[in-house]
Amino acid sequence: MSQLEAVLAKIDANLDASLERLFEFLRIPSISTDSAYKDDCRRAAEWLANDVKALGFEDAGLRSTGGHPVVLGHAPKPGKRHVMFYGHYDVQPVDPLNLWETPPFEPRITTLPDGRKVITARGACDDKGQVMTFLEACRAWKEVTGSLPVGITLLVEGAEEDGSKFLPEFVEANKDELKSDVVLVCDTGMWDGDTPMITTALRGMVYEEVIVRCANRDLHSGLFGGGAANPIRILARIIADLHDADGRVTLDGFYDGVPETPTQVLEQWKGLGLTEESFLGPIGLSIPAGEKGRMLIEQVQSRPTCDANGVIGGYTGEGAKTVIAAEASAKVSFRLVGDQDPEKISAAFKRHCEARIPADCSVEFVKHKGSRAIQLPYDMPELTAARTALQEEWGKAPVTLGSGGSIPIVGDFKRTLGVDSLLVGFGLDDDRVHSPNEKYDLKSFHKGARSWARILARLAE
């Protein structure tokens, strides 16, 4: 039996114990965006630091930031490649709580109607389950061989769901300590339940909130209707005008810096079998809603998008109230690709809104996020190593594709540390990440750990 085979056998044998560990981690409600859970976030960080101390990260501990602490540890391996693993121990809020079928912080294994066994809990996939796939691979290597196959720095933050606000300055302040040859990130998904994926591009993001204010109080529409400006009508115009009839975003200069996907890549994508039926069918839809003349896979992968994420104004209770609201507001976000400039797009959005505000009304903006898109190089030796390892574990070549999601810190790793990231994750489209009843397939967890064990072996070569 080769060393790697022994490590993989150890992962198989350890599965029950590793689930126990994951469940302990999942029971801590480390919601980073809600200050009521501040102590729980710290508790999750401490749990993690304790767990990894025995794996070769002898100095693992908590490090302060402006917000929740990061867990940082080092396991050097002179003469070998040094990698930095990045993940996050914080989770999304759980509301609406009444839609959870089981309590979000009481993890359990359940069986789906199609027979899949899944781990159900907030954070099961995003990102506690994914982080633990890497740590279980490390544990098996350590138990079988006494050490890790490559040098590793572990950096697990506690504010990813809050925009990683303080991490860039932490990375900047500790850039010598964080030196590595490549960053490994486990916060992305598979192509499907049988096909692994390496994410080679991430969309950027602009997230804005707009508040339209008209009269100085709510009005009776019977007395003032027809004479007084209505903020819902103004806001509806602002949102409706963000797209033209062809589904293109209308902001000035929005498509500046958006590259055309090369023909050979489009041809490759056509062969992937991402269809209306396979992609939209499970969510109850059938018609691609993006830009006309683009394949669905382009709409969700390589094209920039705009979505209103929330809107509220006026009377929203039961029954009828004849009110003209004093104000109405919306949250609007844009996913960016290529060289789109978040600052320019944010400014164009503000001009778009201001142009639609009557002179006697006003508008306020709240900025939530802004980050550029990221494209990873196709010629990284680590990409080849990971591709081979994943093929060996899953029996299928991994898909290398851009992701619709955003992980802004990957851009900071490149800018500040000069290091590229390798994004390998085992999430699935139906994991309900950010929604009630989040889950992570048991297969993703088990084979995810096996995949990392193989990748570490390849990176050691």
State which of positions 155-194 bind a copy of itself (CB under 8 A). 162-163, 189
What are the residues whose beta carbons fall under 8 Å from the beta carbon of 146, sequence distance 6 or more? none
| Per-residue 3-state assignment (H helix, E strand, C coil) for 211-278 | EEECCCCCEEHHHHCCCCCCHHHHHHHHHHCCECCCCCECCCCCCCCCCCCCHHHHHHHHCCCCCHHH
Both ends of the chain: CA-CA distance in Å?
Answer: 18
* Cβ 81 to a copy of itself shortest distance, Å: 30
Q: From CA 25, how far away is CA 452, in angstroms rounded? A: 20
The answer to whether residue 285 forms part of the interface with a copy of itself (CB under 8 A) is yes
Whose Cβ is closer to a copy of itself: residue 18's or residue 333's?
Answer: 333
Q: Which of these ranges, 83-91, 148-156, 359-367, 416-424, lies near a copy of itself under the rule CB under 8 A?
A: 359-367
List the structure tokens of 48: 């993690």
CA-to-CA distance for 402 and 335, rounded, in angstroms? Answer: 12
Binding marks (x or -) toward a copy of itself, 319..348, rule CB under 8 A? xxxxxxx--xxxx-x-x-------------
Binding a copy of itself by CB under 8 A: which of 164, 261, 299, 416?
299
Q: How many Cα atoms occupy the beta-carbon half-sphere of 125 within 13 Å?
A: 26
Q: Within 258-277, which residues bind a copy of itself (CB under 8 A)? A: none
Residue of 223, 260, 275, 397 that binds a copy of itself (CB under 8 A): 223
CB of 231 to a copy of itself, least distance (A): 9
Q: What is the DSSP letter of 189?
A: B
Task: Provide the 3-class DSSP secondary structure of residue 398.
Answer: coil
In 3D, which of 448, 395, 383, 458 has the Cα closest to residue 422? 383
Report if residue 365 touches a copy of itself, rule: CB under 8 A.
no
Q: Which of residues 228-257 bind a copy of itself (CB under 8 A)?
A: 228-230, 232-233, 235-243
Strand residues in 188-263 grouped as ranges (E): 197-202, 204-213, 219-220
The span from the CA of 231 to the CA of 225, in Å, is 12
| Residue 16 near a copy of itself by CB under 8 A | no
* Cα angle for residues 176, 178, 182 (degrees, 5° grid): 120
Binding range to a copy of itself, per CB under 8 A, among 16-24, 149-157, 318-326, 392-400: 318-326
421-460: which residues touch a copy of itself (CB under 8 A)?
429, 432-436
How far apart are CB 322 and a copy of itself at their closest, in Å? 6
Select the span of 49-57, 107-115, 192-200, 314-322 touching a copy of itself (CB under 8 A): 314-322
If the CB atoms of residues 128 and 335 are measured against a copy of itself, the closer one turns out to be: 335
In the chain, the largest separation of any two C-alpha atoms, in whole Å, equals 85
DSSP 277: I
- Give me 25's structure tokens: 């981690």
List the one residue from 1, 36, 283, 355 that touches a copy of itself (CB under 8 A): 283
d(CA 55, CA 21): 14
- Considering only residues 387 to 406 of the shown chain, the ones binding a copy of itself according to CB under 8 A are 403-406
| Among 56, 104, 313, 402, contact with a copy of itself (rule: CB under 8 A) | 313
Tell me: does residue 293 bind a copy of itself (CB under 8 A).
no
